[in-house]
């Protein structure tokens, strides 16, 4: 059969999001200590992890609440130190996996429609596509905040397919999270591919609904799945009858 | 006479704020056009300047309102493109003047107490001190947002002097804006030094209240004013009776 579209998750699928988070938090804590936060590095890192778990990754009050957790009064200096260090980490670690750009280019050459479906804040997720240098690669990009729904809602997958003008049944979805990416793609009948990266890498699916058709460990593996016929070529790329 | 403290403005006094603003806006417009903003560079730059003038420099809605001015619907992608380009400009242009750090070090060596008084948002102004690499140089730093008052309010100058444990009469203030820096310092009896940099560089004082005791063109000129006895040495640095 043919596959006309390949749609991607961003974090830990197109770049090493886990490494960025760890580095950014470490750098922020070190900078805040340098600016006067009275805490050792290990305690600071633990307290920050607790704050992020409690507020969620998309809050903008992580550093404010870290100060509270450490027991110091609000300080713009300390917060600025954390923010600057956090931002300075991005040019270093918000980089594509080494196979991301070559693989995306090859998939476009082969005639696939390419898409992105990502959960998160719209400006932050677009920032990632821009900093990764891949904002122009996709024929559609859906961010949950803008769409008003998030993975694994089947609707966010079908909205992306509509924008790509393809059916879910001839679409491939590549993501690293069995509970949002794989489960969601399976529900709408897409070919699910699980990237074994990041914090979910070793999580085993609790049942078939969370099991991908194929697991991969690098984005370049997609090209092998195409060679093996697991992912079909685009219908437009084949000789028409 | 002695002078015990030298207090500084930040923007266009310790670094080239005007150049940073111009570059950051240019880069933001180019990135937004690259991301799809349907406007030419010149028109985009003009519209953005108008938005910044209308909302003030400290709004966080510049890019949102730029889209409105161009007549396109809200777009996280376009806004993210502007924000990323803006942030990417900072490591390049948020750098001290070449004489800033050597001069500050020399002034500390001579025994002066050093301070900062700056108008602006607390986190943004601290970000500047941190990125400039000078956050540890000052014995006191007052940001208007935190202080709840701004230059030229005499109170913000006296609060800084209190923190430095010096009297205004034995303090020097160095800033580039005749209406906030010079006028404010003159009102509390500090020795006012005007740095002729940035957008106010060519503004002539409307009367003596806005006229600095001395104008300088580079921070290193302070050392010459000390050699000439215009700025006195710190009392602690001289032989005690």
Please name the residue ranges forming H helices in chain B.
17-34, 41-55, 62-70, 76-93, 100-109, 122-131, 144-147, 154-164, 183-187, 221-227
Res. B238: pLDDT tops 70: no
In the sheet with B5-8, reading across from the earlier edge strand, the strands are B140-143, B113-118, B5-8, B171-175, B191-195, B214-216
The whole-model pTM stands at 0.85
Residue A102 CB coordination number (10 Å): 13
Residue A235 CB coordination number (10 Å): 14
pLDDT at B206: 92
Residue A3 CB coordination number (10 Å): 22
Between A76, A84, A135, which is nearest B122 by CB?
A76
DSSP-derived secondary structure letter, B214: E
| DSSP assignment of A145-209 | HHHT--TT-HHHHHHHHHHHT--GGGEEEEES-IIIIIHHHHHTT-EEEEE--GGGTTPPPSSGG
Res. A240: pLDDT tops 90: no
pLDDT at A157: 98
Give A91→chain B minimum CA distance, Å.
8
List, for residues A27-74, the tens digit of each pLDDT value: 999 999 999 999 999 999 999 999 999 999 888 899 999 999 999 999
Give me the mean pLDDT over the B200-211 stretch. Answer: 95
Across the interface, do A79 and B130 touch by the CB < 8 Å criterion?
A: no
CB A83 within 8 A of CB B123: yes
b/e code A185-223 from CB counts within 10 Å (16+ = b): bbebebbbbbbbbbebeeeebeeeebbbbbbbeebebbb
Give the best residue of A62, A92, A130 to mutate against chain B (max B CB count within 10 A).
Answer: A130
Give A86→chain B minimum CA distance, Å.
12
Give the best residue of B79, B135, B144, B146 to mutate against chain A (max A CB count within 10 A).
Answer: B135
List, for residues A127-138, the tens digit of each pLDDT value: 999 999 999 999
CA of residue B130 relative to chain centroid, distance = 13
| DSSP assignment of A133-154 | T-TTS-SEEEEHHHHT--TT-H
List, for residues A74-133, the tens digit of each pLDDT value: 999 999 999 999 999 998 899 999 999 999 999 999 999 999 999 999 999 999 999 999
């Amino acid at each position: 059969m043919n596959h006309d579209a390949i749609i991607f998750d961003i974090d830990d699928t197109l770049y090493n999001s886990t490494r960025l988070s760890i580095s950014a938090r470490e750098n922020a804590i070190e900078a805040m200590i340098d600016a006067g936060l009275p805490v050792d590095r290990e305690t600071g890192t633990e307290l920050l992890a607790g704050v992020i778990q409690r507020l969620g990754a998309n809050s903008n009050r992580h550093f404010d609440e870290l100060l509270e957790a450490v027991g110091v009064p609000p300080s713009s200096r300390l917060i600025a130190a954390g923010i600057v260090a956090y931002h300075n980490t991005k040019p270093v670690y918000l980089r594509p996996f080494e196979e991301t750009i070559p693989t995306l280019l090859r998939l476009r050459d082969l005639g696939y429609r390419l898409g992105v479906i990502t959960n998160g804040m719209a400006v932050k997720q677009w920032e990632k596509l821009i900093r990764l240098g891949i904002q122009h690669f996709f024929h559609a990009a859906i961010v949950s905040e803008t769409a008003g729904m998030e993975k694994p809602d089947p609707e966010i997958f079908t909205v992306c397919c509509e924008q790509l003008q393809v059916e879910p049944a001839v679409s491939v979805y590549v993501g690293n999270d069995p509970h949002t990416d794989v489960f969601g793609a399976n529900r709408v009948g897409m070919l699910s591919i699980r990237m074994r990266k990041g914090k979910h890498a070793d999580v085993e699916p609790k049942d078939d609904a969370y099991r991908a058709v194929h697991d991969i460990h690098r984005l370049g593996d997609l090209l092998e799945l195409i060679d093996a016929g697991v992912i079909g070529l685009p219908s437009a790329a084949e000789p028409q009858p």
